[in-house]
Amino acid sequence: MSIIAKIIGFKINTLSFISKKFAGHLAITLFSTPFRGRINEKDFDFLDTAFKEELSYEVFPVMTYRWVGKNKTILLAHGWESNAARWKTLIEKLKKQDYNIIALDAPAHGRSGSKRFNAILYSEFINVAVKKFNPDVIIGHSVGGMASIFYQYKYQNPELEKLVLLGSPSNFTGVFNRYSKMMGYNAKVNRQIDQIVLNKLGQLPSYFSAARFSKSITASGLIIHDEKDKVIPYSDAKQYEQEFKNAKLITTQGFGHSLNNDTVIEHIKTFIAE
């Protein structure tokens, strides 16, 4: 993948000398287009055990899945190139404790709409699900955690009791820098990416710091991050720990970015039961 990425990056760099706007558009389109994350046959089998309900945000369908319980309501937000089925193991454990569980598909993932993805749009999808199901707890993996912070920062939901961030990026700047480094983009392309974000979202990427936004969040937080995470660096978790005053950090080793294992699930269960 790294060789292919560099080849594509080289072509976009070359194009930037002809049209920096078009090159920037291609770079941001590539960045925001997931190539995986739609539902396969195995995912269908599991998700069909839930009550499915399609909500909407503007013109986009927002697919939700609900496993009914009488305990607290928990909303699950998956990460990049995934879908609601990634939570299967956690859901099965939480069902045994009679939690009311909601999972949603992110923009351009699973059964939800949009051809493009970004964490701001995802936060609006989360808001739609929150207004419908009123969760006590939100658990987000990777960019799902970042989008959950963006949601709570904007809407300041007083009924949200707890937030769980699993391997979550702390800011847009780091995400874009890692993407640019992977692709080998030149300064022209990077500046144009910044300009596109400014035009679309009204702020430069540096503004969108989920760690900084977490300062204003009063809900209790649990941050779980693997020290050797190769996708989102552990330093992002340390930024959350510094800014998210009502949160605690659990550091794991050897669980990778997915954090999809029984040890992490036990940490989550303990936290939401407190």
Tens digit of pLDDT for each residue in 19-52? Answer: 999 999 999 999 999 988 788 888 999 999 999 9
8 A C-beta contact, residue 173 and residue 199: no
Residues 5-14 pLDDT 10s: 899 999 999 9
In a domain, 202, yes or no: no
pLDDT at position 74: 98
In a domain, 258, yes or no: yes
Name the token pair of 205. 């990427």
**How far is 132 from 150, CA to CA, in rounded Å?**
18
DSSP state, 209?
B
In a domain, 22, yes or no: no
Supply the range of the domain harboring residue 128. 32-171+209-273
Mean pLDDT of 264-274: 96
pLDDT at position 199: 96
In a domain, 160, yes or no: yes
pLDDT at position 10: 93
pLDDT at position 42: 86
8 A C-beta contact, residue 74 and residue 87: no
In a domain, 232, yes or no: yes
**131-162 as b/e, with b when 16 or more CB fall inside 10 Å?**
ebbebbbbbbbbbbbbbbbbbbbeeebeebbb
Query: CA torsion sign, 176 to 180 to 183 to 186?
Result: positive
Q: Name which residue leads in pLDDT, 42 or 248.
A: 248
pLDDT at position 244: 97
What is the number of structural domains in the chain? Answer: 1
Mean pLDDT of 135-163: 98
**68-82 as b/e, with b when 16 or more CB fall inside 10 Å?**
ebeebbbbbbbbbbb
**How far is 75 from 93, CA to CA, in rounded Å?**
15
pLDDT at position 41: 87
Name the token pair of 96. 């045994």
Name the token pair of 219. 């809900």
Residues 88-146 pLDDT 10s: 999 999 999 999 999 999 999 999 999 999 999 999 999 999 999 999 999 999 999 99
pLDDT at position 40: 86
In a domain, 24, yes or no: no
Which CATH number fits the domain that encloses residue 148?
Answer: 3.40.50.1820
Provide the whole-model pTM.
Answer: 0.95
pLDDT at position 86: 97
In a domain, 9, yes or no: no
Residue 170's alpha-carbon distances to 62, 118, 119, 125, 252, in angstroms, are: 25, 14, 12, 19, 18
Residues 174-220 pLDDT 10s: 999 999 999 999 999 999 999 999 999 999 999 999 999 999 999 99
